[in-house]
Structure 1
Amino acid sequence: MRDVIEHRAGFPVERALRGTAAAARSDVVLALLEQQGAAVSTARRWRLPPYASKPLVLFSVWLAEDIRSAAPEARRQLAKRYSGADLITHMSVHETEILEDAGISRDRTLPVTFGVNDDYYTPGTGPRDIELLAVGQDRGRDYRTLFDAVRGTDLVLTLVCAPANVAGLDVPDNVRMMGLVPLADYRELLRRARVVVVPTHELAYPTGQSVALEAASTGACVAVTGTQAMREYFEDGTTARLVDVGDAEGWRQLLLELRDDPAQRAALGASARVAAQTRFSARGMWAEIAASCVERGLV
């Protein structure tokens, strides 16, 4: 029954139904991620209790990108689906305009500074014995460009991702495929990596930011694609090294440079760790959202 309902609705419903009793006792409903807020938003539009009287905050990741890449009618449907939300957060300033163009008023949006758990992602005590590490199965990953960069070199790349991420790609011999790993193993890989590489496409949101900032929090040297959104989180030469979108030759030159420059890696890693603690912590992100809820009178 659940599968039939959710298939026809086009969004998850079960958690909103299971949450009705808790929502009745709560000051605000926070949806993680935006899809989980679709049913609550619909209930608010239809004035269904208990959600009708509860402010709804959507913690969104993909909404602006989905709107940007959708056909006109699909954009209208997405804006309508989330019209019951009082506040929609997003992770890059330029996403605000995308949402506004779709009919979501600016006073219902909030660009937040994404943060990670810097108490969990801490520097390790062992050696950094992994030359290059890439992690991630987000739709924004650009492993084709990364493979072109390391192909034919003596660089050694360790890659953690789902098989679907590399389907149809020619994986070079110097790439060590690990598949998916548990969370604790992932943290240990970040601690062991000399350089954490995050190659991405240009999307509306800062795709790859979780891995990049978690790596930064461990004190790893981070190299990322310099998308418009990611440049809000990393500064080239200070907290990371940035490469243009799709620039395989640029990646090759940078990775060879970082491989042979331990002093640069150490300096970048130290600066990245400080930035994660002072500017990009989860504590700061949630405090920012909470303060906005108070400021806007939602709680």
Structure 2
Amino acid sequence: MRTGADATDPRILGLFDHNGILSRKRRLAGAPRVPGPYRVDLLDELGYELRTVLPAQGRGHRKVRDVIEHRSGLDIDMAVRAMPEAWRADAVLAMFERRAQFVARLRRRGIAPYAGRPLWAVSCWWAEELRGMNRQDSARIARDIEGIDGLLVFSTNQQEIFAETGVPAHKIHSIDFGVDPEFYSPDPTAARRFQVFSAGVDRGRDFESLIGAAELLPQTRFDIFTQPGRIARNLPANVTLHSPVDIVAHRDNLRAADLVVVPTHDLAYPTGQSVLLEASGCGACVAVTSTKAMNQYFEDGVTALAMPLHDPEGIARVIERAQSDPALRERVGANARRAVVEHFNFRRMWTEIGALITSAG
């Protein structure tokens, strides 16, 4: 039984990769904070005790883990090593799908300690995968979800996709994503270095259409930050490719852009929402592809400018409109910053998630 000043705080066991999230006791003693993915560490400031285990440490440990998990197709190592913490936990939170599958299967078989604790999981990719899966593979995912009490997704359109697979609606919870508005904040002194700025490395980016738009706007400079080799085609003279940069340089780039463009394909999950919200937090004007998943993150003409899907000509028109109207860019950027401060931020996101996990426990 827990005792002490924080004995009544719900204890959440987090299963995810991190670089050493510290216990509350060590942080109160003056140790520096180590953020977790999506700032999950904020749970420890919001009235919960977040407990974690580190990923595999040491060459030998990692080698054994890799052999076992490659053969099984499951992430087993962390879940097994976290069992002592699971006995003391009020709930378990897995990030992301791969961290949840093995635990979900243990729960379906009634295996302690996980069988006696609510399991929640953050899902980023299952809905998109389900759209192209055969019936056997989609049924496997549905069975894994049977062992999960709640699945957290970042766009409401995914609820319908899971329902079509037979997942009960009450298990799927749509939560608006967020960013850190203190880090991603405006800098009025930042010099403008980019006319059109775009960044991203995931498969959801539609850089082909953006480059097509650049060919129609030869007097406009386009700077794209992505992985080397991500764009294979020949580039027009007004497009410059850059390798990805660290988080501070990325924020400084957002602050230095006249217009941030987030061109995407139409995926089940809101690909690109991080850059959209990071730029919005910096007070930048953003043009973003309008898709069902992304549309819940902006209001066209108010907090961002909507671009048509896979349409270089349409994208060029939106960029031209933004370029020719500085007042529009300033107004949209200010509205976007306000939306991040008031709603699309990590603290609000984890407040909602924490309440869901513990209310169902």
Residue 232 of structure 1 is matched in structure 2 by 296
Task: Find the partner of 1:11 among 68, 74, 79.
Answer: 74
Structure 1 segment 81-96 matched on structure 2, within 5 A: 81-96=144-159
CA deviation vs aligned residue, 1:155-202 (integer Å, no higher than 9, x gap)? 111111112432x33333222211121111111111111111100011
Task: Find the partner of 1:65 among 101, 109, 128.
Answer: 128
SS at match of 2:191: coil
CA deviation vs aligned residue, 1:199-247 (integer Å, no higher than 9, x gap)? 0011111111011011101100000000011111111100000011101
For residue 71 of structure 1, report the CA deviation from its aligned partner: 1.4
Q: State how far apart, in whole Å, the 2-side matches of 1:163 and 1:16 are.
A: 35
Q: State how far apart, in whole Å, the 2-side matches of 1:56 and 1:15 are.
A: 15
Task: Find the partner of 2:96 among 33, 43, 51.
Answer: 33
Contact 2:213 2:313 in 1 (8 A): yes
Residue 215 of structure 1 is matched in structure 2 by 279
> How many residues align structurally?
296
Q: Does 1:263 align with 2:334?
A: no
CA RMSD of aligned residues (A): 1.5
Over 4 Å off, 4+ runs: none
Q: State how far apart, in whole Å, the 2-side matches of 1:180 and 1:285 are.
A: 27
SS at match of 1:151: helix
Residue 113 of structure 2 is matched in structure 1 by 50
For residue 255 of structure 1, report the CA deviation from its aligned partner: 1.2
Residue 246 of structure 1 is matched in structure 2 by 310
Task: Find the partner of 1:158 among 220, 223, 238.
Answer: 223
For residue 99 of structure 1, report the CA deviation from its aligned partner: 0.7
Letter in 1 for 2:66: D
CA deviation vs aligned residue, 1:241-281 (integer Å, no higher than 9, x gap)? 00111011011121122123211111110000001111211
CA deviation vs aligned residue, 1:125-175 (integer Å, no higher than 9, x gap)? 312321111111121110110110102512111111112432x33333222
Residue 102 of structure 1 is matched in structure 2 by 165
Contact 1:161 1:178 in 2 (8 A): yes
Q: State how far apart, in whole Å, the 1-side matches of 2:249 and 2:102 are.
A: 35
Change in CA separation of 1:49 and 1:210 when aligned onto 2, cut-off 3 Å: same
Task: Find the partner of 2:346 among 258, 282, 299.
Answer: 282
Q: State how far apart, in whole Å, the 1-side matches of 2:89 and 2:357 are.
A: 14
User: Quick one: percent identity of the two aligned structures?
Assistant: 39
Question: Comparing 144-153 with 286-295, which one deviates more in the overlay?
Answer: 286-295
Task: Find the partner of 2:183 among 120, 127, 131.
Answer: 120
SS at match of 1:144: helix
For residue 45 of structure 1, report the CA deviation from its aligned partner: 1.8
Q: State how far apart, in whole Å, the 1-side matches of 2:114 and 2:195 are.
A: 51
For residue 93 of structure 1, report the CA deviation from its aligned partner: 1.3
Contact 2:91 2:358 in 1 (8 A): no
Q: State how far apart, in whole Å, the 2-side matches of 1:12 and 1:294 are.
A: 25
Bigger Rg, which one: 2
Letter in 2 for 1:186: H
CA deviation vs aligned residue, 1:109-139 (integer Å, no higher than 9, x gap)? 1011111111211112312321111111121
Letter in 2 for 1:108: K
